[in-house]
A and B are shown apart, each in its own frame.
Chain A
Amino acid sequence: MEIKLLSEHYDKPEFQGLDGYKKLGGYEPLKKAFQMQPKAIIEMVKESGLRGRGGAGFPTGVKWGFLPDNGEPRYLLCNADEGEPGTFKDRLMMERAPHQLIEGMIISAFAVGSHKGYIYIRGEYNEPTAILQKAIAEAYDAGLLGKNILGSGFDFDLDVYQGAGAYICGEETGMISSLEGKKGQPKLKPPFPAVQGYLGKPTIVNNVETLAAVKYIIRDGADGYRKHGTEKSAGTKLFSVSGNVMKPGTYEVPLGYKLMDLINIECGGLKPGRKLKAVIPGGSSAPVLTAAECADATMDYENLAQKGTMLGSGAVIIIDDTNCMVDMLKVILHFYHHESCGQCTPCREGTGWLHKIVSSIYSGTGRLQDIDLIQQVADHMAGKTICALSDAAAMPAVSFVQKFRSEFEFYVREGRSKVKGAVDAQV
């Protein structure tokens, strides 16, 4: 069953504006936070078990604790680049509940001692940007942003910055380069942004959903938040479900929720007469699960890791038996090849090779040894580059080939898809 914490009021139009938001309890947690010591908030976030919702799942409170105590100005950046294919939950939040994000950011800024924040939002999100800008203006007018917020003595300025169409700007150091007005190329870590980030200053980067969740941790306490989810995966999560289900959409369920329940109960199951073939559980970077593996999968960090995949951004892509896996992989690899920033040879060349090999199978000119070549190329790509995009391309490629090898072999042998009608219409 859905547990609506963040998304409780998303269906109410008035939740978008400041008045409606306040009537529904908005900005009360902020007042509560101002009664606390910043360090106590960081502790509370640690105890809550909140992990980053942007993809990597790093414990949020622990990240905040990495900030050096050197008196330098600190920046808080919200990652609203949302480029991982299959992900759309941050857009929903920014459109329906912009103040939820703003409140989460003020509380987080207070906790980490930052006086300037940016929401880095992808260039295509014009409507959410306009909504956020309006909400930020409302917040300034109401004394919720700017100097001496609600008489607390705490100052925080917030602005929105739009990217311009580059997936790599979702990677935190790429995002920082972009915000500095440069190419969005990632940088080698360490130094981590918490030590040396925006303009070389200590910087915390968190996802939209992570920052919004902080508000509910303050409201309900660490234990209250932990009531949802599992021991290692605390809280609720917004899942973006798309692909071949009756009711695709964003659903908030506790972590640890059964994948098949998400598909059958929340999403109304598959289309009549169709069979489940595969699920990509955490955005297109996540290794694919077969239908058999889905049977006992639960949506939490540990179970999906055990199954060799990941929760990622919470983008669940449901694939039924009318799809050709060679075709799906070709689409995925086209994306990573297109989005590689080109700094690292294994990534730049590897994504290109993978895409070429799978495209040649797709066009009927593949050789049987090409199937193993995919694995070999992928081996040279993982863990050898500045950022994780290279891994993000290699991992799905390997999983598709390992788990659906017979489809790849059939395609090579026959020069056509094993799935009737799946690719005839495609270009």
Chain B
Amino acid sequence: MAFSQETIEFIKKECQRYETRRSAILPCLYRAQKEDPNNQVTPEAVAEMATLMELPEVQINEVLHFYTMYNKKPVGKLHVQVCTNISCSMNGGREMAEHLCKEFNVNYEEVSSDGRYTISRVECLGSCDTAPMMQVNDKYHENLTKEEAVKLLKDM
């Protein structure tokens, strides 16, 4: 799938924004991921980025594989990232993650059969005073119980 015209414009603008074109790789990868129907960055997208940005593919792949927020395989419509680091673990974060997998009948990092959910366990999200918490796509949801988390996700 080729990039939309807006994304092409975005990439061109980002390439001018920083001191070096290479710095535009991170923001452009986000953009490519947002546009992908499976919320991931495909090899085709990398190739198209490389052409548009006039950068070698290897530089883009280096970044793609180093950072955890770029998905290298399909992700559900709702990417549910539950913090299981220390303060959240002390307050039920791990049970919450487990409960969500059961409730939506899906293993960690996989896509539920209806295509809606991917559940991940992630490191501290900087919201430890509101534990347990989760990030769903771009947004934080804090001070949860596992039941509230399920309800919230079903209502989205």
Binding site for B on A (CB under 8 A): 82-88, 90-91, 116, 122-127, 159, 161-167, 178-184, 198-199, 240-244, 248-250, 280, 284, 315, 317, 319, 323, 327-328, 331-332, 335, 338-339, 425-427
**Residue among B24, B87, B127, B128 with max Cβ neighbours from chain A (10 Å):** B87
Query: Which residues of chain B in 81-108 are interfacial with respect to chain A, using CB atoms and an 8 Å cutoff?
Result: 84-87, 89-90, 94-95, 98
A67–B29 Cα gap in the complex (Å)? 34
A180 and B67: CB pair below 8 A?
A: no
What are 17 A-to-B residue pairs whose CB atoms are below 8 Å? Answer: A83-B123, A85-B124, A87-B128, A127-B140, A163-B67, A164-B26, A164-B63, A165-B69, A181-B22, A181-B24, A181-B26, A198-B19, A241-B129, A244-B90, A249-B129, A317-B86, A331-B84
Closest A residue to B137 by beta carbon equals: A126
- A181/B135 contact (C-beta < 8 A), A162-B26, A164-B29, A331-B84 known: no
- CB within 8 A of A319: which of B90, B125, B135? B90
Taking CB atoms, residues of chain A closer than 8 Å to B129 are 88, 240-242, 248-250
A199–B138 Cα gap in the complex (Å)? 31
Taking CB atoms, residues of chain A closer than 8 Å to B123 are 83, 85, 167, 335, 338-339
A164 and B30: CB pair below 8 A?
A: yes
Binary interface encoding of chain B residues 66-82 relative to chain A, with 1 for a CB under 8 A from any of its CBs, else 0: 11111000000000000
A83 and B86: CB pair below 8 A?
A: no
B128 and A240: CB pair below 8 A?
A: yes
- Closest 5 A/B residue pairs (Cβ): A181-B22, A164-B67, A242-B128, A165-B69, A165-B68
A165–B70 Cα gap in the complex (Å)? 8
B98 and A427: CB pair below 8 A?
A: yes
A83–B66 Cα gap in the complex (Å)? 16
Closest A residue to B64 by beta carbon equals: A164
A237–B130 Cα gap in the complex (Å)? 20
Taking CB atoms, residues of chain A closer than 8 Å to B19 are 116, 198-199
Query: Which residues of chain B in 40-82 are interfacial with respect to chain A, using CB atoms and an 8 Å cutoff?
Result: 59, 62-63, 66-70
- A88/B20 contact (C-beta < 8 A), A284-B86, A323-B90 known: no
B63 and A243: CB pair below 8 A?
A: no
Closest A residue to B21 by beta carbon equals: A181
Interface size class of B (residues with CB under 8 A): 35 or more
At the interface, yes or no: B115 with Cβ under 8 Å from chain A?
no
Main secondary structure of the interface of B (DSSP, over half): helix
B126 and A91: CB pair below 8 A?
A: yes
At the interface, yes or no: B25 with Cβ under 8 Å from chain A?
yes
Taking CB atoms, residues of chain B closer than 8 Å to A164 are 26, 29-30, 63, 67-70
A419–B90 Cα gap in the complex (Å)? 14
A315–B17 Cα gap in the complex (Å)? 35
Taking CB atoms, residues of chain B closer than 8 Å to A242 are 87, 128-129, 131
A167–B84 Cα gap in the complex (Å)? 15
At the interface, yes or no: B16 with Cβ under 8 Å from chain A?
no
B85 and A123: CB pair below 8 A?
A: no
**Residue among B67, B70, B85, B90 with max Cβ neighbours from chain A (10 Å):** B90
Taking CB atoms, residues of chain B closer than 8 Å to A162 are 26-27, 30
Taking CB atoms, residues of chain A closer than 8 Å to B63 are 164, 181-183
Minimum CB–CB distance for A224 against chain B, Å = 30
A86 and B66: CB pair below 8 A?
A: no
Closest A residue to B23 by beta carbon equals: A181
A277–B17 Cα gap in the complex (Å)? 51
- A166/B68 contact (C-beta < 8 A), A181-B23, A181-B26 known: yes
Given A91-B127, A166-B67, list of 19 further CB < 8 A pairs? Answer: A85-B123, A86-B128, A88-B127, A116-B19, A125-B126, A159-B17, A164-B29, A182-B59, A242-B87, A242-B129, A243-B87, A244-B90, A248-B131, A284-B85, A319-B90, A339-B123, A425-B95, A426-B89, A427-B94
Minimum CB–CB distance for B6 against chain A, Å = 18
Taking CB atoms, residues of chain A closer than 8 Å to B23 are 161, 179-181
Closest A residue to B33 by beta carbon equals: A164
Taking CB atoms, residues of chain B closer than 8 Å to A86 are 86-87, 124, 128
At the interface, yes or no: B139 with Cβ under 8 Å from chain A?
yes
Query: Which residues of chain B in 110-129 are interfacial with respect to chain A, using CB atoms and an 8 Å cutoff?
Result: 123-129
A332–B86 Cα gap in the complex (Å)? 7
Minimum CB–CB distance for B74 against chain A, Å = 18
A126 and B67: CB pair below 8 A?
A: no
- A426/B70 contact (C-beta < 8 A), A181-B22, A242-B131 known: no
Minimum CB–CB distance for B10 against chain A, Å = 14
